[in-house]
Structure 1
Amino acid sequence: MEEIRYSINEIFASVQGEGLLAGTPAVFVRLQGCPVHCPWCDTKYSWKEDGSGTAKIPLSEVLVKDSRPRSADATLDELVNLILERWPRIPLVVITGGEPAEQPIRPLTERLIAAGKRVSLETSGFLEIDVAPETFVTVSPKITVPGGRVLDSALERADEVKMVIGDESDLAALDAITDKIPESTPISLQPLSMEESAASLCFRTAVERGGRYRVSVQLHKVLRVR
């Protein structure tokens, strides 16, 4: 069997700043590569694929913040051992990107859960989601960008749908897919770049609609942490 390898941009410990798990101490594993390319993305350095201007670095260097296109290769064992040995007390591992669903993440989620970690996946829903059943899946649809899409199967699998809202057109785009989201799934409205007008729209919408709607504030930006 071919050995599983991951292309990793960075790994760091912080608190989850967004969505239903906000405030939870977490290890973030940012995988390299993304096909969506949202114009407001604050991690554009994680877009480029290997071989297209991405610097290759040793695995140890992914622990150092550096907002350049770069990646380290790691086997499943190397990645899991690094997380468990360096952060044994942190309960949550967040697999993000980039678009992590481009890589074979099911074995990674299975190994981390078996080791006693809670695992969360942050994905655009652009690709099929293949993770351990216990994985908490946040789908952030990128349907307002050129070429953007979200799969019905991703919306059905989501434990939370988190939509970036800048104006009424984003809200309309969300409403166009709401019938694909199970009624029990919470919908988090996240203000674009924490702009005041976007925050006001998210607040008003959540209060008016109630039910499963909530506002997702980027807590890490409020706290000014990574």
Structure 2
Amino acid sequence: MKGTLHEIFSSIQGEGLYVGVRQIFLRFTGCNLHCSYCDTNDSTAGYREKFPVEMDPGTSRFEYYRNPVAPEELLKIVLQLKPEIHHSLSLTGGEPLLQADFLAEFLPLFRGRCPVFLETNGTLPKNLSKLLPYLDIISMDIKLPSVTNYACWHDQEEFINIALEKELYVKVVLTENTTQEELEQIMKLMAKADPGIPLVLQPVTPVNRVREMIPGKYIQIQDYFGTALKNVRVIPQTHKILNLL
């Protein structure tokens, strides 16, 4: 089994509950959704012949490796970035769970080097089940129908119930097109599963024609979720402010 990578780099986590921690990012190619605000469109296209690895963090100097890559080869690449000095290894994309079979071979080889952090859209519950023993933290980014033109509520509910076995938080990107009905559906899913699951409300970083909400609405939405959920935070994309990968 071989995997297809888009890029590998060491940087600061810019979103969610773990904003500011140092991670190694494995960005996988391909995605099963097409969000209007996607800031990694080039990673969703699928196969690329070579992928860059930033060996010296923050320098934009890259070495290139060929796709597809075997689990053992990927491990050698990642070890050069010194996972032991990082908070965790981030599996991101694209949608990394599209390559669950490859990860099921790679992650046992990596196990014990540092915690494994999954960033996912939460629409592939069966693929999550394959990897659950090797994961430590799950960041589930609920993609709303207003940005995907596709409702995934049933899959997302199943995903949350499986992910509860690990440390889980949910993130949702808010745009000017986010509807009250979408917010109600998120509340229903999370309150039913566990009202203690942390929820991160992330203001969209404007891209293309997607625009942010009126700032005051973030407070209103936080108050709304606070009527049923115990831990609701508003956190923007900080790595964009710092101009980091």
- Coarse TM-score class (shorter-chain normalised): 0.7 to 0.9
- Post-superposition offset of 1:224: 2.1
**Distance in 2 separating the partners of 1:198 and 1:123:** 27
TM-score (norm 2): 0.77
- 8 Å Cα contact 1:107/1:131 also seen in 2: no
Residue equivalent to 1:216: 235
- Post-superposition offset of 1:168: 6.6
**Distance in 2 separating the partners of 1:153 and 1:41:** 24
**Distance in 2 separating the partners of 1:169 and 1:217:** 16
Selected match of 1:155 from 156, 160, 167: 160
Report 1:71-220 matches (<5 A).
Answer: 72-88=67-83, 89-104=85-100, 105-112=103-110, 114-128=111-125, 129=128, 130-133=130-133, 134-144=135-145, 145-150=148-153, 151=155, 152-156=157-161, 157=163, 159-167=168-176, 169-181=178-190, 182-193=194-205, 197=213, 199-207=215-223, 209-210=225-226, 211-220=230-239
- 8 Å Cα contact 2:176/2:214 also seen in 1: yes
- 8 Å Cα contact 2:14/2:237 also seen in 1: yes
* RMSD (Å), alpha carbons: 2.6
Q: Which moved more, 1:124-133 or 1:191-200?
A: 191-200
**Distance in 1 separating the partners of 2:186 and 2:223:** 20
Gaps of 5+ in 2: none
**Distance in 1 separating the partners of 2:43 and 2:150:** 18
- Post-superposition offset of 1:92: 1.1
**Distance in 2 separating the partners of 1:109 and 1:170:** 38
Q: Any idea what the Cα deviations from partners look like across 1:18-44, whole Å, max 9, x if unmatched? A: 011111001111000012010110000
Gaps of 5+ in 1: none
